[in-house]
Amino acid sequence: MSKPNDLVQGTLDVLLLKILALEPLHGWAISRRLKSLSGDVLQVSEGSLYPALHKLEQEGWITAEWKQTENNRRAKFYSLTRLGRRQLESESANWHLLSSAISRVIRMSEA
Amino acid sequence: MRMEHWWFTVPLRLRSILRRGRVEQELDEELQFHLELKIDEGIASGLPPDEARYAAMRAMGGLEQRKEEMRDMRRIHWLTDFVDDVRYAIRSLRRASGLTGFVVITLALGIGMTAATFSMVDALIFRPYPVPYPSSVVSLVSTSHDNSFDNFSYREYLDIRGKTKSYDGVIANGVIGPVGFSLEPGAMPRVKGGLLVSGNYFQVLGVEPQLGRGFREDEDGVPGRDAVVVLGKDFWKHELASDPSVIGKIIRLNGTDFTVIGVAPETFPGMQVFARPDFFMPLAMARVFSTNPNKNYFEDRDDRELSVKARLKSDTTLEQARSELAVLAQDFKREHPQFNRNRGASVLTQFEIRTRGDDVNWKFGVIFSILALAVLLVACTNVAGLLLARASTRTREIAVRLALGAGRFRLIRMLLTESLILACLGGLAGIAVGYVAIGLLRTFSIPTTLPVTIPFQMDTRVLLASLALSLVSALLCGLAPALQSTRTDLVTGLKSADVDLPGRRRLWGRNVLVVAQVATSLMLLTASFLMFRGFQHSLVDGTGFAKVAKDHVLMASFDPRLMKYDAARTQQFYRLLGERVREAPGVQSAAFTQNPPLGLGDFDRIAFVPDGFQMSPDRENFTTTMDTIDEGYFATMGIPIVSGRGFLKSDTRDSPRVAIVNEQFANHYWPGADAVGKHFRLESRAGTPVEIVGVAQTIKYESTGERRTDFVYMPLTQHPVARMVLLLRSSGDPLQLLEPLKDVVRTLDPNLPMLEMRTYDDLYRYAAVEGPGVAINLAGTMGAMALLLAIAGLYGLVAYNVTRRTREIGIRMALGAGPSDVLRLVMSKGLVLVGIGSVIGLAMGFAVEQLMNSMLFNAGGVDIVAYFIVVPTMFLVTMLAAYIPARRASRIAPTEALRYE
């Protein structure tokens, strides 16, 4: 599968879970949100967004529902499941652990 | 956590499988939605619509790849792929319906024959005892010079039971024997089969009666005290109409009142393969059922009539049990040297007992399994050959698929799915064939009033075995063609429609198939031909007397003990009966025997020491089979006396003991000398001397398949026996003697039952026609099938190869080759292959012949005739298979052949 080149593997999952934790969104809106949230630092190719969403759905972390958008078009809205919320919590805990460990290492080498 | 995970994911997977179309459609819609918004965005930023569209597509990075990725995410592609493969396979098989039909029929024959054979082998060898935890039930055997599977005596059984610690229980039973059964005292008894068992029999085996109870331990304690009986399930069902109130009722067995205490459960037909006991009686009641009033069954340590089994403790190994019993056997030897010289004991599993070398069931099982598997192998090579031929016509299709990016493994899977479907169809049809074949195996009847069933059946075990066979054959038939056709060289494959690659490997595979097929079918043909001739031969040798006797001899058995005759009155009865029937109208001659030759009963054994024969000092005696007869026997049965005389009226109880032996016996102990006038002693060196007064021709005694065996005849007057068979010889139809016989018996004792009245023809038909007939037919069917399959397969392969060379032949002929050159070219290769196959097949056939000789016929040398008939037949078939297409090819005009594709 194609991986987002400039994202640590697995980070995209956390980002998506985090975005959906705020409110249910459809794919297009998620991609807009990703762009605006991470600015130019994190770039996600729009093509790889859907396989990632699909994977989260198959894992049971998010669930999808067809609804009308504000422009009256049918779109697939994703929202977080209970399982997904738990996953997000453990993933972010992991992330904190990892990033603080890495920054400690980096500080050490500068000293 | 895990469970909750499934709670979410399982419905998703199910949805992906079951609502595949809808899921796909949603996928499309979602991506389309994104694409449209993206285009709108592009337009809004000022791009022309076309460019906006391209930009959007580029940003998405290829819609189809994305979809494919997402399909993989669902992790069900293995299944959807399989479903696709199955659909595709069914479509392509339907297109080649002729080939499919042929393959299915071929596999059906192979699998069906194997299933039928397996049902037979399973019943005879593999099926476990019908008791809980059957694998812990072991058999205890006494071993000696002459018999490694001997029984134990009652005394020995009690010792084993008391002194061993390896078992949860030790049981014993006699052999199933005839019992006169009646419901009321006055009624004429009918013959049923009864089995004497130890008091703990049901309890140790873990068999719970469906009605009433099993025996109590103490009911087997005192000889003759507790007349209780447990009924067999079939007897209860058929004779007593499943009467639920039967417990506590009285029935009469051999004239003694027995109380019914239980009915064996539906699941327990008994421990034997064929015999189904109608009654189970305690060992302590043995007196009522004994055939020999001279024997003291409860005391004689050498009266070995009990088969002993035991349930091994769960923490004891077979080795421990064996060494324990070996020690006990040493004790026996020390304490009772006169009965136990050179005797040991061993513990055997059910499998070891059933696969013992001298067991005829085992021999048949092995030989027919080999034959059946060979038929299956021929069928599989046949199918593999056809699939291979078919695969090479698909070279282009496969090449296109590979070029489009299909993985090799994926293609192999697709091709294997095809052969799997073929094998499943073949397996289903094979089960039908097996069902019919088993039905045929069951049809032959055994002429006895004892309860005997043919236990071959299409049960779960056979079905599972057939299924496994189908799967194995799918792999066998499909793997080689699949591997080979996916090894295609893309460039050549795409360029030409349907052309053999020049590579040698491809041809090599096909050549191996031809050779294997010739070899296997040659072996099969040889084997079945040998069996056919072996049986024919065994039917001729030593059964000459029977061919006359069968049309003229009537038999009826008597057991005066059923009417409580004592020994003296019994012998008086036989003397009077003999005298009177000889005067009856139509009776040419009459005789008594314990068991007519080729009859169903077992012969007694006699222990003897021949005078003047060098017997090794550690040996106590020799034993062999014997019969008790009267003076009319040899004339009535038509068995010639070779030298000396038959028994005479003057051989009475008080005259010197005499015996007649057969030629085999005479040559064995007095080679080159006349045995008449020689003596042997009964039991031991110091035993009663018996003079040999005559030598009779060696015949077949127990079965037509037996080897030449030693045999001794004793006169009824000097060796009284209770149960005898009367033989009456007529000049015409033996059944005409039936009424006169009944009249005579009525004058002697109107209540005495005549058992097993039948013509000798019945016995002869079973022993020499129907029994071997099953084997001959089976062998013949397998041979014929092998030949048919081989012809079809060879013809297909060779003809196919020749057809593929049509273009080459055209070129050769255009360059000036004549039809005869073409014929020679094509046929020489076929002949080389057949030649190689024949040599291998002959070697295998020879090996099979050795095996069969050692197991069944003991004919010794090689049956040259078989080879002289079989080999040329195979050659002829292959030559024809090569000739017909070669001839057709050589007749094609070169112009046409060159255009041929």
Q: Is residue A57 part of a domain?
A: yes
Q: What is the pLDDT of residue B73?
A: 67
Report the domain count for chain A.
1
**Average pLDDT along chain B:** 81
Burial class of residue B887 (count of CB atoms within 10 Å of its CB; 0-12, 13-18, 19+): middle
Q: What is the pLDDT of residue B282?
A: 93
Position with higher pLDDT, B173 vs A2: B173
Q: How confident is the model at residue B26 (pLDDT cuts 50, 70, 90)?
A: confident
Do A46 and B38 count as a contact with CB atoms less than 8 A apart?
A: yes
pLDDT tens digits, B355-396 = 876 666 777 778 788 888 888 888 888 888 777 777 767 777
- Work out the average pLDDT over B753-777: 74
Do B59 and A46 count as a contact with CB atoms less than 8 A apart?
A: yes
Please state, as a whole number, how many other Cβ atoms lie within 10 Å of the Cβ of residue A97: 10
Q: Is B599 helix (H, G, I), strand (E, B) or coil?
A: coil
Q: Is B16 helix (H, G, I), strand (E, B) or coil?
A: helix
Q: How confident is the model at residue B504 (pLDDT cuts 50, 70, 90)?
A: very low
User: Is residue B72's pLDDT more than 50?
Assistant: yes
Residue of chain A with shortest Cα separation from B73: A55
- Within 8 A of A55 by CB-CB distance, chain B residues are 73
- Work out the average pLDDT over B64-85: 73
Q: Select the residue of A1, A45, A46 nearest B69 (Cβ to Cβ).
A: A1
Task: Give me the percent of chain A exceeding a pLDDT of 90.
Answer: 0
Q: What is the pLDDT of residue A42?
A: 63
Q: Would you say B147 and B485 are in contact if contact means Cβ atoms under 8 Å apart?
A: no
Q: Is residue A75 part of a domain?
A: yes
Q: Mutate which of A12, A35, A50 to disrupt the B interface (most B C-beta within 10 Å)?
A: A50
Q: Is residue A98 part of a domain?
A: yes
C-alpha dist (Å) from residue B129 to B134, B135, B136, B612 = 5, 8, 10, 48
- Within 8 A of A28 by CB-CB distance, chain B residues are 33-34, 37-38
Whether A11 has its CB under 8 Å from any CB of chain B: the answer is no
Do A47 and B60 count as a contact with CB atoms less than 8 A apart?
A: yes
User: Is residue B898's pLDDT more than 70?
Assistant: no
Residue of chain B with shortest Cα separation from A86: B1
- Work out the average pLDDT over B816-833: 78
pLDDT tens digits, B404-461 = 877 778 888 888 888 888 888 888 898 888 888 887 777 655 555 555 666 677 777 8
- Work out the average pLDDT over B852-877: 67
- Work out the average pLDDT over B675-685: 90
Q: How confident is the model at residue B310 (pLDDT cuts 50, 70, 90)?
A: very high
Position with higher pLDDT, B842 vs B501: B842
Do A83 and B60 count as a contact with CB atoms less than 8 A apart?
A: no
Q: Is residue A5 part of a domain?
A: no
Do B33 and A48 count as a contact with CB atoms less than 8 A apart?
A: no
Position with higher pLDDT, B621 vs B69: B621
Residue of chain B with shortest Cα separation from A4: B61
Q: What is the pLDDT of residue B489?
A: 63
- Work out the average pLDDT over B130-153: 87
- Work out the average pLDDT over B228-235: 92
Name the token pair of B747.
């004058």
pLDDT tens digits, B187-221 = 766 778 889 999 999 999 999 999 999 998 888 88
CA B348 to chain centre: 21
Q: What is the pLDDT of residue B679?
A: 94
- Within 8 A of B61 by CB-CB distance, chain A residues are 2, 45-48
Q: What is the pLDDT of residue B444?
A: 59
Q: What is the pLDDT of residue B280?
A: 94
Name the token pair of B510.
């096909």
Q: What is the pLDDT of residue B623?
A: 85
Q: Select the residue of B7, B65, B73 nearest A58 (Cβ to Cβ).
A: B73
Interface of B with A in 107-136 (CB under 8 A): none
Do A58 and B75 count as a contact with CB atoms less than 8 A apart?
A: yes
Q: Mutate which of A54, A63, A71 to disrupt the B interface (most B C-beta within 10 Å)?
A: A54
Do A47 and B26 count as a contact with CB atoms less than 8 A apart?
A: no
Give the ipTM of the model, two decimals please. 0.78
Q: Is residue A4 part of a domain?
A: no
- Work out the average pLDDT over B250-263: 89
Do A75 and B75 count as a contact with CB atoms less than 8 A apart?
A: no
User: Is residue B64's pLDDT more than 60?
Assistant: yes
* Cα–Cα dist B262/B315, whole Å: 32
User: Is residue A3's pLDDT more than 50?
Assistant: no
Whether A5 has its CB under 8 Å from any CB of chain B: the answer is no
Do A2 and B65 count as a contact with CB atoms less than 8 A apart?
A: yes
Q: How confident is the model at residue B894 (pLDDT cuts 50, 70, 90)?
A: low
User: Is residue A2's pLDDT more than 50?
Assistant: no
Name the token pair of B724.
């005898």
Q: What is the pLDDT of residue A43?
A: 63
Q: How confident is the model at residue B592 (pLDDT cuts 50, 70, 90)?
A: very high
pTM, entire model? 0.67
Q: What is the pLDDT of residue B264?
A: 93
Whether B832 has its CB under 8 Å from any CB of chain A: the answer is no
Task: Give me the percent of chain B exceeding a pLDDT of 70.
Answer: 86
User: Is residue B497's pLDDT more than 70?
Assistant: no
Q: Would you say B678 and B692 are in contact if contact means Cβ atoms under 8 Å apart?
A: yes
pLDDT tens digits, B329-352 = 999 988 888 788 778 899 998 888
Q: What is the pLDDT of residue B74?
A: 66
- Work out the average pLDDT over B756-762: 81
CATH classification of the domain holding A78? 1.10.10.10
The residue segments making up the domain with residue A46 are: 11-110
Whether A31 has its CB under 8 Å from any CB of chain B: the answer is yes
Q: Is residue A103 part of a domain?
A: yes
Q: Would you say B285 and B196 are in contact if contact means Cβ atoms under 8 Å apart?
A: yes
Instruction: Tell which residue, B414, B503, B519, B333, has the closest CA to residue B82.
Output: B414
| Residue given tokens 């302590």 in the structure block | B284
Q: How confident is the model at residue B656 (pLDDT cuts 50, 70, 90)?
A: very high
Instruction: Give me the residue spans of the domains in chain B.
Output: 2-75, 150-354, 360-535+767-899, 560-752
User: Is residue B261's pLDDT more than 90?
Assistant: yes
Whether A47 has its CB under 8 Å from any CB of chain B: the answer is yes
Q: Which helix (H) or strand (E) covers residue B642, if one does?
A: strand B641-644
User: Is residue B807's pLDDT more than 90?
Assistant: no
- Within 8 A of B33 by CB-CB distance, chain A residues are 26-28, 73-76
Q: How confident is the model at residue B301 (pLDDT cuts 50, 70, 90)?
A: confident
Whether A60 has its CB under 8 Å from any CB of chain B: the answer is yes
Burial class of residue B222 (count of CB atoms within 10 Å of its CB; 0-12, 13-18, 19+): exposed
Q: Select the residue of A28, A48, A60 nearest B34 (Cβ to Cβ).
A: A28
CA dihedral B845, B851, B856, B862 (to 10 degrees): 50
Q: Select the residue of B7, B9, B34 nearest A58 (Cβ to Cβ).
A: B9
